[in-house]
Structure 1
Amino acid sequence: MSKKITKTALPKLRFPEFLGKEEWKEKKLGELTYSISERNKKDKKLPIYSISNINGFVPQSSQFEGVDSHERGYDITLYKIVDKNTFAYNPARINVGSIGYSGELSEVLISSLYVCFKTDDNLDDKFLWNILKSDKFNQAVNNTVEGGIRSYLFYENLATIKIEVPFLPEQQKIAATLSSLDDLLTAQSAKLEALQDHKRGLMQGLFPAAGETVPKRRFPEFRDAGEWEEKKLGDICKMQAGKFVNASNIYAESHESLFPCYGGNGLRGYTKTFTHKGKYSLIGRQGALCGNVMLAAGKFHATEHAVVTTPNSKIDTDWFYYLLVILNLNQYATGAAQPGLAVQNLEKVEIRIPQTETEQQKIANCLSSLDNLIIAQSQKLEALKRHKKGLMQALFPAASEQSA
């Protein structure tokens, strides 16, 4: 028995005021949008923007700090002028999501390479913006792009992609609902970034800066406890690379009989064997991210690309993890094509430690509490993203499978 794809005319979820109203209609983008291409012929000195596949419209001044975009020697008379509510994309990169929506931006310049278009009066821009970010639209793009090694999608082909649309009031209701959710996501993202920034600043204050013998911030009960002792990393811990495990023995999914497997860049998957039991700081020792630090707990397998550290009995394990993070160990990497960290070099890194384990524990508890807040905020943000994705799947019609 084969399956065929049939189009449903209605979404799973519809606002009460639109129940029983007309069905959604399938339209080509070209029936609801039109291309624009206004050149900067008068050489207006307007802000210059690029389009990022993550952040959409981004001012070039933030990408080339300290350099005025107009001083970079480009002929800006060839650039395109973009005003409010315009969509723009790089025709060679739209298949990786490189599309932006100007929103309230007014009178900015973008490269002449970008394709620009607007919606007509029958299509709400923010409704379309949500469609353009959907998995379904991305699949349609991948099916429409032309070319070999580098794929292109110019407006004439983009215009052939079909989308489903309700009548305008329902579009606007959907767009407003998703915009409200986007505002909440933006606020929650900002809160997460603020917590992460606060942690970075706090760590810099709780550990001595280069050339200093005490930290800038010290808990009141330790202000008269004297200078932190100067040591080398090898004086307070043992370091040893993990054990090789064949890639065929690393599983993508976890279940009860498997253990986490950590390599130089974090979690690689799950294995039937474990090399360590307890709580250890792991240092990535190979690749561009060598020097990154993670805290592993329980039973786990560490590969040869991770250095497992075992602090001595007078060093608090959690404090030691934060010490390794603040040391920025990547700066000690050697090699160009394949950067790496040698244990013998790590052992020589100069550090300072509090004279009492009690002060170590106080610092670790403070930072651990902040980490817990960051984890909780990250989980809240991910839950909101999943909620939005599920809501979009319900608010927009999807292709359905039926037996033939």
Structure 2
Amino acid sequence: MGEIAERVQGNDGRMDLPTLTISAANGWMDQKERFSGNIAGKEQKNYTLLHKGELSYNHGNSKLAKYGAVFSLETYEEALVPRVYHSFKVINGSSKFIEYYFATKIPDRELAKLVSSGARMDGLLNINFNEFMGINLTVPNKSEQEKISNYFSNLDHLITLHQRKLDLLKEQKKGYLQKMFPKNGEKVPELRFAGFADDWEERK
């Protein structure tokens, strides 16, 4: 990793930027959305300023990511992220490719070698930045990295569109279930197919 990436740390004092956290399931999330408020507190002054295209490794273990998760910042131009994350930028390569590479879980074998005594009390794996930079990755040239990352980005976009459509259909179904069956004490539903006007009958 150290041959293709370099560390990102510190900030320029601006504390009004979005304050983000990594969810293994959802990637970058605003702390206000995930925790119903900013949980950084006084520690925010020590947060890392991340720019679009830079990445962070959350070395906290979870059911979805036993050896942590890596995500590239894409939805914000700039953001503040916890200092405890190992933040870095790719030199002459594709940051999205590195994100997808970690999503394959292939680097887990390398990361597992670094975990000496499991997770600490705060859930973080005992992997320091230099050790993380020392893991081995097998990568193609930049052009192929971009081809691969664009392919998976397009798939992600398609999945998002279908997910929105699915959510709308679920809401539509819920609405029709409420309108196409009579409410308590009533004999006809609010909404019916054309050609039907009879009262619904009560039967045992």
TM-score band by shorter chain is 0.7 to 0.9
Cα separation, 2, equivalents of 1:30 and 1:52: 25
Cα separation, 1, equivalents of 2:84 and 2:189: 51
1:355 aligns with 2:202: yes
Question: What does 1:46-195 align with in structure 2 at a 5 Å threshold?
Answer: 46-65=17-36, 67=37, 69=38, 74-75=41-42, 76-93=44-61, 95-121=66-92, 123-150=93-120, 151-195=125-169
For residues 153-183 of structure 1, the C-alpha deviation after alignment (integer angstroms, 9 at most, x for no partner) is 2321121221112222222222222222222
User: In structure 1, what residue type is equivalent to 2:102?
Assistant: L
Relative distance call for 1:73 and 1:97 in structure 2 (3 A) is closer
Relative distance call for 1:114 and 1:146 in structure 2 (3 A) is same
TM norm structure 2: 0.79
**Contact 1:92-1:153 at 8 Å conserved across structures:** no
Matched with 1:37 is 9
**Contact 1:35-1:118 at 8 Å conserved across structures:** yes
Q: CA deviation at 1:53?
A: 0.3
SS in 1 for 2:144: helix
**Contact 1:57-1:100 at 8 Å conserved across structures:** yes
Q: CA deviation at 1:47?
A: 1.6
For residues 34-80 of structure 1, the C-alpha deviation after alignment (integer angstroms, 9 at most, x for no partner) is 1111235x242112111100111011222244x5x3xx671121222
SS in 2 for 1:45: coil
Cα separation, 1, equivalents of 2:172 and 2:196: 22
Q: CA deviation at 1:192?
A: 2.4
What are structure 2's unaligned runs of at least 5 residues?
Answer: none
Q: CA deviation at 1:356?
A: 5.8
Cα RMSD of the aligned pairs, angstroms, is 2.8
For residues 219-254 of structure 1, the C-alpha deviation after alignment (integer angstroms, 9 at most, x for no partner) is 25666516xxxxxxxxxxxxxxxxxxxxxxxxxxxx
SS in 1 for 2:10: coil
SS in 2 for 1:136: coil
**Contact 1:79-1:112 at 8 Å conserved across structures:** yes
Relative distance call for 1:179 and 1:213 in structure 2 (3 A) is same
What are structure 1's unaligned runs of at least 5 residues?
Answer: 1-28, 227-353, 358-404
Give the number of the structure whose residues are more often strand, by fraction. Answer: 1
TM norm structure 1: 0.43
Q: CA deviation at 1:135?
A: 2.9
**Contact 2:8-2:50 at 8 Å conserved across structures:** no
1:225 aligns with 2:178: no
SS in 2 for 1:177: helix
Relative distance call for 1:160 and 1:208 in structure 2 (3 A) is farther
**Contact 1:50-1:110 at 8 Å conserved across structures:** yes
Q: CA deviation at 1:95?
A: 3.0
Matched with 1:199 is 173
Q: CA deviation at 1:117?
A: 0.9
Q: CA deviation at 1:199?
A: 2.3
Question: What does 1:303-382 align with in structure 2 at a 5 Å threshold?
Answer: 355=202
Relative distance call for 1:129 and 1:99 in structure 2 (3 A) is closer
Q: CA deviation at 1:128?
A: 1.5
Larger Rg: 1
User: In structure 1, what residue type is equivalent to 2:139?
Assistant: V
User: In structure 1, what residue type is equivalent to 2:52?
Assistant: K
Cα separation, 2, equivalents of 1:45 and 1:133: 31
- Identity over aligned pairs, percent: 24
SS in 2 for 1:31: coil
Cα separation, 2, equivalents of 1:153 and 1:47: 27
Number of equivalences: 194
Matched with 1:247 is none
Q: CA deviation at 1:149?
A: 4.7
